[in-house]
Amino acid sequence: MTALQCATTFVIARHAEAEYETSEWDDEGGSLTLRGRRQAAELAASLRTRRVAHVWTSTLARAVQTAEIAAAALGVGVTTRKGLREFSSGDLAGTTRDLDPFLETYARWLEGELDVRLPGGETAREVVDRFGAVLQEAADLHPGETVLVVSHGGAIGVGVPNVARMQAQRQQLDNCDTVEVLADADAWVCTKWGAAD
């Protein structure tokens, strides 16, 4: 069997619970709470029998902290990639978090309108392209292995359905909920989505 025929299994997790430095929208920040640190440890414990080969993570602190806690417990290394980051706040950076100004645009993204742009930010297509490029890089480096990927709810919610055939519903992911994708040369298939599966 060639490397291209050896499927990579991605376990893609939303980062653990975090608290933020400000009450404004910001593309940075977020440090794990004590509860978040427990969630990251529980994520690792749930994967202990899966023989995870490596952890890939977004560069944002809340994801990196989740990844490092999980990787330490699993005894594997961590690779950071900007492509796994949450979608950008764009022109909304610095405005208060009282309401979620992204909901309307994000709902359109989930309906397949990938070219809709957040003001001053990204389109869904741009998020999907960068997210998918990192997954492809990881698949190329880990054929036949299981890889933990730590990212963000928005990026996962729009990224995974567009890089893999969906066989599961797209309910919102809680902290440390996971999505699983089987990736090989023939197809990328989502086999699990969130706690319901």
What are the tens digits of pLDDT across the range 146-179? 999 999 999 999 999 999 977 555 788 999 999 9
DSSP label at residue 38: H
Contact in structure between 189 and 167 (CB atoms under 8 Å): yes
- Show me where the domains of the chain are located: 3-193
Whether 187 has a pLDDT exceeding 50, the answer reads yes
Q: Are strands 178-183 and 8-14 parallel, antiparallel or unpaired?
A: antiparallel
Encoded tokens for 20 = 């933020």
Helix, strand and coil content of the chain, in percent to the nearest 5, comes to: 40, 20, 40
* pLDDT(102) > 80: no
What's the mean per-residue pLDDT of the chain?
87
Fold exhibited by the domain 3-193: Rossmann fold (3.40.50)
Would you say residue 38 has pLDDT above 90?
Answer: yes
Structure tokens at 183: 């990736």
Q: What is the C-alpha separation between 161 and 185, in angstroms, rounded? A: 18
* Angle value at C-alpha 174, between 197 and 65, nearest 5 degrees: 115
CA distance 196 to 168: 9
Average confidence (pLDDT) over 71-79: 98
Q: What pTM was computed for the model?
A: 0.89
- Give the model's pLDDT for residue 2: 43
Backbone φ and ψ for 8, nearest 5 degrees, come out as -95, 135
* Stretch 102-107: mean pLDDT: 81
Helices 124-141 and 153-163: crossing angle in degrees, nearest 10, is: 70
